[in-house]
Amino acid sequence: MATKLFTRTLTLPNGQRKYFRGKTQEIADAKYKEAKRMLNAGLDISVDLNLTELTQIWFDTVKRPHLKGNTVYTDLTNINNHVLQPFIAGMSVRAIRPVHIQTAMNNISHLSHSVQSKVLQSYRGIFDFAVDNDLIAKSPVLSTIKARGAKAEEKVPLTPEQTRQLLVATQDARIHIGVALMVGAGLRREEACGLMWEDIDLDNGVLHVRHALPFIRGQESRVTTDLKTESARRSIPLPLWLIEELRAEKAKTNSVYVLHKKDGQHLTLSSFTRMWEVIDRKGLDFKVHPHLLRHTCITRWVESGLDMKEVQYLAGHSTPEMTMRVYAHYDRAARFKATTEHIRATM
């Protein structure tokens, strides 16, 4: 017995009729509405698109609305440099076959696993979008096409002793309170830079992440309540030592910002960079960057025995997978230490 398909019909500007079918009315309606959006965006869906044209409409309708800050710039750079390769960019979407996708992946085989994964993810998104909108019948991005390349080395957190050395070394520097916030509360750089005194309840020792200061290429920096993700909006109980650091800092400033320029205004990328460069002149025998401090804090939370859901919330991670990457590194190290102790105790 043939499967019943639900159909919606759309009359194109040239008078041609286009049919959208699905196993349910909802699926057919969704395809119809997406085609309407594409038409409203100026795309003539009656013509045969090339990959560049399809990628543009996919990015504008599917990706861009969910991206913030530098992520837009990063994603577009990745697409222009690695997805839209010269040999495939002008090809008809209908003519692209699995061999073309595999060739494109082979062409970037020298790049890291992370970059290759993002390229392959983009191809999957683009061609799934084409299938969903009846532009092609089947995606050429087969499940057998894999991202390869070397995986990034796992970040090793600072030891407790290194953390103490860093805090002591920066004690008289303006970046000190920023270091303390990242390593003691796990704040992202943009969260530490956008933090306002109104966000901190010193009486109860709780920091509320409500503001951020993203540094976006080509745009003037400004503090915003539009955070990286909804999960970034969170309340973090502070360790006692950080509460005391913040009390001391608040007593000597008139700025509404915790981290600020000398005139009390919020930071810019250049002013933050100058503040951070002080660390490099302290003669420490280890390197640090803002994300390493956040990573160190999250690792300490894991080591303290907090469960993964608690750590995920405090870190502002949108998915448990992001938290598990930290936990997995800690778990392997802890297990190896225990194994070593057991083996050395044997005859």
pLDDT digits (tens, 9 = 90+) for 204-252: 999 999 999 988 766 788 999 988 888 999 999 999 999 999 999 999 9
Compute the mean pLDDT over every residue in the chain, rounded to the nearest whole number.
88
Residue 315: pLDDT band (50, 70, 90) is very high
In this predicted structure, the answer to whether residue 114 has a pLDDT above a threshold of 90 is no
In this predicted structure, the answer to whether residue 46 has a pLDDT above a threshold of 70 is no
> Is the pTM value of this prediction over 0.85?
no
Residue 33: pLDDT band (50, 70, 90) is confident
In this predicted structure, the answer to whether residue 1 has a pLDDT above a threshold of 60 is no
CATH class of 48-152: mainly alpha
In this predicted structure, the answer to whether residue 338 has a pLDDT above a threshold of 70 is no
Tokens of 256: 């509404």
Q: Going by CATH, does the domain composed of 160-340 fall within 3.10.450.50?
A: no
Task: Map tokens 């870190």 to a residue.
Answer: 315
Domain ranges of the chain: 1-38, 48-152, 160-340
